[in-house]
Structure 1
Amino acid sequence: MEKVLCEGTTICYAEQGKGEPIILLHGFCGSSSYWDEVVPLLSQSYRCIVPDLRGHGRSDAPLGAYTIDQMADDVLKLQEQLDIPQAAWFGHSLGGYLALSAVQRHAERLTAFGLIHSTAYADTDEGKEKRNKAVSTIQTEGITTFVDGLVPGLFAPDHVESMSSQLLKVKEIGYKTPPQGAVGASLAMRERTDRRDVLSASALPALLVAGEQDQAVPPARTFTTDRAGVTQVTLPEAGHMSLFEAPELLANAILTFLEQNLKK
């Protein structure tokens, strides 16, 4: 992987393909490896930049709480250092929160964006309590125990056994998350703001992708606007992890969206 220094924090990233740039952002306790099955399909037509977010993968994991804006700024700094004036951002789950932050504060740096199994809602009180429990579990029982409890619920119920090898890969990626990084990102998600107004008011083309069987972010929490320029896609039988459960369908949704919305 390549790496850049973003305000004192090293951010590692992979790059593949040529053409219009797209930035692919992974979810919580993930890494750039989340996109391994999708990038080969996208990079035939686009330049794919796939970072490990702050606190994840091979990127630095500073101690303390992070913020969504701070994590988004890392990606903006990466984009700047790669001399890319504008790019399309696609964020899976946590990555979608970063995309919305960038849209709100630096829309001129984006050509389009996508929320993949993500939402513009803030955490509910119940959701915030789950973040607190996650932090407690990570600190007292370790990242392995936390990931073992997290990952099965990210897949559609029917896929937990039928896609055991994919589930194991997600776990193995999660085990490599530095504990302080998982804690910092949990606190960032807990404190994030509601950005439904950002999503509905933006003039940028937006792709909203939901899994029919997503138990973490149900489709209703993804499809919060049908404004002009928004494309809504539901992936049948997929849970929260279409990157592993249905990578071809996800790639096709992204490619179709880009073809319809980006000038070549």
Structure 2
Amino acid sequence: MSSINFFEKGSGQPVILIHGFCEVSQMWEDIADELSDQFRVICPDLPGCGKTVLNLSQNKLEEVAVQLEEWMESQNIQNPIITGHSLGGYVTLALLELMGSKLKAVGLFHSTAFADDEEKVGMRNRTITFLKKHGVDTFVTSFVPPLIPEHRREELQSEINDAIHQAKQSTLDGLIYYTKAMRDRKDRIEVLKSFAGPKLMIAGTEDGAVKIQASRAHKPAVSDYFELEGVGHLGMIEQKSACIEILKGFCEKANG
């Protein structure tokens, strides 16, 4: 098993923040700083991302979940609150299915428990073709900016540039692996519904990757639902303060 690269801040109740597709653990630094005064905040690089080597072959999120569970055991991370952004949310749900009541609470941040529909599967297949032809740098340079609504891209250009720089730390094999894993993942809405612990969803009304209608369909399955008005897929950039407030409040409530 390859080791998981991560950083952690603070002490107390463990809170794991899992990054998304074309992202690395560094994306959580500001949020981790804010949460670390009350919690032990741990931010891993997923296999094939950042400084964690990809040592997986099945293109399945279940495989990633097993590796992360072993990593948690090695780091004495018990009863964590886990929140994942986008792909990180899919990984969180795979961990929830694997570990169940060993998790204290879960959060989906611009993510979904539903499987890909036919349109999304086609998009994933085109992504794989593009990656194989053009490579990581060209892909992420075109992939990241549209995650933010067009009218805010000029204002947030510095943050977008930082996100692109982080995305370039992804490996080609890693991006292809996760594109296939996301494409083939199963529906886990019943897994989410059946979990008795606190469950958070943060959605953006202008999210092009996870449509707001799909997010709203999760309301009966979660205990805490928040919509960020006018926000796309990167709420931690577009409305950082609001996201910090929501995450801190949820973690406090879950730990209460």
Calculate the TM-score normalised by the size of structure 2: 0.95
Q: Which residue of 2 aligns with 1:234?
A: 227
Secondary structure of the equivalent of 1:83?
coil
Q: Which residue of 1 aligns with 2:243?
A: 250
Answer yes or no: is the 8 Å Cα contact 1:37–1:244 preserved in 2: no
Residue 38 (structure 2) pairs with residue 42 (structure 1): no
Whole-Å separation in 1 of the counterparts to 2:219 and 2:117: 23
Whole-Å separation in 2 of the counterparts to 1:240 and 1:102: 22
Q: Which residue of 1 aligns with 2:14?
A: 21
Cα deviation, residue 152, structure 1: 1.4
Q: Which residue of 2 aligns with 1:122?
A: 115
Equivalence map 1:58-69=2 (5 Å): 58-62=51-55, 64-69=57-62
Whole-Å separation in 2 of the counterparts to 1:170 and 1:228: 31
> Number of paired residues?
256
Secondary structure of the equivalent of 1:38?
helix
1:48-93 per-residue CA deviation (whole Å, 9 max, x = no partner) reads 0000001111100247452111112222112111112210000000
Secondary structure of the equivalent of 1:134?
helix
Answer yes or no: is the 8 Å Cα contact 1:55–1:178 preserved in 2: yes
Whole-Å separation in 2 of the counterparts to 1:236 and 1:86: 32
Cα deviation, residue 261, structure 1: 2.4
1:76-133 per-residue CA deviation (whole Å, 9 max, x = no partner) reads 1121111122100000000100111111221122000000000011011111111111
Q: Which residue of 1 aligns with 2:213?
A: 220
Whole-Å separation in 1 of the counterparts to 2:220 and 2:148: 29
Whole-Å separation in 2 of the counterparts to 1:170 and 1:161: 14
Whole-Å separation in 1 of the counterparts to 2:212 and 2:125: 24
Whole-Å separation in 2 of the counterparts to 1:71 and 1:228: 24
Whole-Å separation in 2 of the counterparts to 1:123 and 1:262: 32
Equivalence map 1:115-154=2 (5 Å): 115-154=108-147
Alignment RMSD, CA only?
A: 1.5
Gaps of 5+ in 1: 1-7
Residue 155 (structure 2) pairs with residue 162 (structure 1): yes
Residue 176 (structure 2) pairs with residue 186 (structure 1): no
Secondary structure of the equivalent of 1:133?
helix
Answer yes or no: is the 8 Å Cα contact 1:65–1:185 preserved in 2: no
Answer yes or no: is the 8 Å Cα contact 2:192–2:221 preserved in 1: no
Residue 191 (structure 2) pairs with residue 173 (structure 1): no
Cα deviation, residue 43, structure 1: 0.9
Whole-Å separation in 1 of the counterparts to 2:57 and 2:170: 15
Whole-Å separation in 1 of the counterparts to 2:237 and 2:219: 27
Whole-Å separation in 2 of the counterparts to 1:130 and 1:154: 15
Whole-Å separation in 1 of the counterparts to 2:239 and 2:174: 28
Calculate the TM-score normalised by the size of structure 1: 0.92
Identity of aligned residues (%): 31
Cα deviation, residue 28, structure 1: 0.3
Letter aligned with residue 58 of structure 1: K
Whole-Å separation in 1 of the counterparts to 2:125 and 2:55: 19
Gaps of 5+ in 2: none
Letter aligned with residue 116 of structure 2: D
Residue 96 (structure 2) pairs with residue 75 (structure 1): no
Relative to its length, the structure with more strand (as a share) is 1
1:141-186 per-residue CA deviation (whole Å, 9 max, x = no partner) reads 1111111121111112222111000111111111111101111111
Letter aligned with residue 237 of structure 1: G
Secondary structure of the equivalent of 1:158?
helix
Q: Which residue of 2 aligns with 1:94?
A: 87
